[in-house]
Amino acid sequence: MTTSTPVGLTAEQETFRRELRDFLAGADVRREVAEIAAYPPRHEASHLAVYRRLGERGWLAPSWPERFGGLGLGAVEAALVTEELTLAGIPDDVHVLSIDIVGMFLLRAGTEAQQQRHLPHLARGERIATVLFTEPGCGSDLSALSTAARRDGDGWRLRGGKIYNQKSQFGDVALCAARTTAGPVALHGITLFLVPLRSPAVHIEPVPSMGNDRFNLVVLDDLRVGPEDVVGQVDDGWRLLNDLLQLERTGIDFHGKGRRLLDAAIGRATATGRIDDPSWAGDLAELDAAQHAAHALAWEQVHALADGRPDPVRSAMSKWFASERISPVLAAGADLDGLATALSAWDGGAPDDGLWEAATRTGPAHRLASGTSEVMLYLVAGNGLGLL
Ligand SMILES: Cc1cc2nc3c(=O)[nH]c(=O)nc-3n(C[C@H](O)[C@H](O)[C@H](O)COP(=O)(O)OP(=O)(O)OC[C@H]3O[C@@H](n4cnc5c(N)ncnc54)[C@H](O)[C@@H]3O)c2cc1C
């Protein structure tokens, strides 16, 4: 593997990375990864054994306090987990949703009772929390959301539909953005709620997707939640979304996925002797340089986060750069093996056990998830370069 080592790690962090990598290379984990690759169509990963085993060691959410199932470490160790999971080919959706988004919102804005109730289960990998932000009529611009929460005694009743949700069919609880006050300023009046997913007032319908992981339309049909389910202050959800979602965006996960694919392509070029062709070698070297650049940009954001000075503009740049570097690697993989890369794990004889076929179907999603490429460039152009 040509993966570069993150710069600026302490000796302890370097040991943590090595132990993590050794653990993820272990026979049990590799068997589970191979089983997932061979899943029948429309079957997707949910409660993974590897998550529970990481959770037992406090490694699933190492930056969380020990009393919530973490190790009390920092953003660097959290990023090492994300990077090593993606490099090892372990599905990271549940980790992103449960730990990086819902867990992080609860740690920063939740009450002690909310934290005690949910965080230890999430850190142990035994429960799944999901995200209900996007709606059929709004995604990038969440200020346009229309899911309504109206007062009902000391609690609220939620009505509306959320789309492109993932994993709620396996989830226990979701973080949902709803409008509590309609006013002249769209950004004001959004509130975040914890909603139970196993309620008769929650309907989860599959929405077709090219990837193995399905999307859901989640309809909240007069769902009652109590005052204890409000995350942060009523009407203050927009500020939380703006402040906290950028913390999710270091680009490290997208870099890990691109790097893994490029390592596989270099492995195939080496095995087939194509690497000796100067034209192939040059193309792969160019892709390798771009991956190193994505790696450097992503780790710059991780260290900025660890030092308490996150930079939303450079984070946007990093997410854009790392996610856009994936499709050229997919194209190189397809060129190397031609039509064989269209074979799935189920066809038999597929190169890299169907890795290329599966990655090609998920490829387009990388430039949409966690903020689209256009919106990332809009942030860089507007807030970074002052052009808009
Ligand atoms: C794999 C995957 C998993 C997801 N999981 C979840 C989930 O679990 N929960 C959840 O709530 N959502 C989830 N989403 C939804 C995701 O957050 C949205 O797709 C994303 O925010 C974009 O919103 P949209 O799809 O409504 O597109 P829109 O916002 O409608 O954008 C449509 C197009 O317009 C462009 N555009 C929008 N605004 C601008 C602008 N200002 N300047 C230039 N161009 C612009 C966009 O780049 C895009 O190309 C997921 C998406 C993907 C791909």
**pLDDT single digits (tens) 211-265:** 889 999 999 999 999 999 999 999 999 999 998 888 889 999 999 999 999 999 9
Token pair, residue 40, equals 């029948």
Residue from 135, 220, 375, 376 to probe ligand 1 pocket by mutation (most atoms less than 8 Å from CB): 375
The alpha carbon of 165 and the centre of ligand 1 are apart by a number of angstroms equal to 11
Whole-number Cα distances in Å, 93 to 131, 187, 336: 11, 28, 28
- pTM beyond 0.85: the answer is yes
One-letter amino acid for residue 261 of the chain: L
The alpha carbon of 45 and the centre of ligand 1 are apart by a number of angstroms equal to 23
CA dihedral in degrees (299, 305, 311, 312; nearest 10)? 90
pLDDT of residue 46 exceeding 70, the answer is yes
The alpha carbon of 215 and the centre of ligand 1 are apart by a number of angstroms equal to 13
pLDDT of residue 97 exceeding 60, the answer is yes
CATH 2.40.110.10 fits 131-235, yes or no: yes
Ligand 1 atom index nearest CA of 93: 3
Does the C-beta of 377 come closer than 6 Å to ligand 1? Answer: no
- 249-384 topology per CATH: Butyryl-CoA Dehydrogenase, subunit A; domain 3 (1.20.140)
Using the Cα atoms of residue 77, residue 80, residue 84 and residue 85 in order, give the sign of their dihedral. Answer: positive
Residues of the chain with CATH 1.20.140.10: 249-384
pLDDT of residue 235: 96
pLDDT of residue 273 exceeding 70, the answer is yes
The alpha carbon of 144 and the centre of ligand 1 are apart by a number of angstroms equal to 13
Ligand 1 atom index nearest CA of 364: 53
39-44: average pLDDT: 85
CATH 1.10.10.10 fits 11-127, yes or no: no
pLDDT of residue 41: 79
Question: pLDDT class for 42, splitting at 50, 70, 90?
Answer: confident
pLDDT of residue 247: 80
Ligand 1 atom index nearest CA of 141: 29
Tell me what the pLDDT averaged over the chain comes to: 95
Residues of the chain with CATH 2.40.110.10: 131-235
CB 248 within 8 A of CB 198: no
304-321: average pLDDT: 96
Dump the DSSP string for 5-62.
PPTT--HHHHHHHHHHHHHHTSHHHHHHHHHHHTPPTT----S-HHHHHHHHTT-SST
pLDDT of residue 82 exceeding 60, the answer is yes
Report the Cα 214 to chain-centroid distance in Å.
15
Ligand 1 atom index nearest CA of 365: 53
The alpha carbon of 12 and the centre of ligand 1 are apart by a number of angstroms equal to 38
Report the Cα 293 to chain-centroid distance in Å.
20
Question: pLDDT class for 2, splitting at 50, 70, 90?
Answer: low
φ, ψ of residue 178 to 5 degrees: the values are -140, 160
148-156: average pLDDT: 97
3-state secondary structure (DSSP) of residue 77: helix
Atom 20 (ligand 1) nearest CA: 139
Q: What tens digit of pLDDT does each residue of 326-383 get?
A: 999 999 999 998 999 999 988 888 999 999 999 999 999 999 999 999 999 999 999 9
Placement of tokens 């790696």 in the chain = 295
Question: pLDDT class for 197, splitting at 50, 70, 90?
Answer: very high
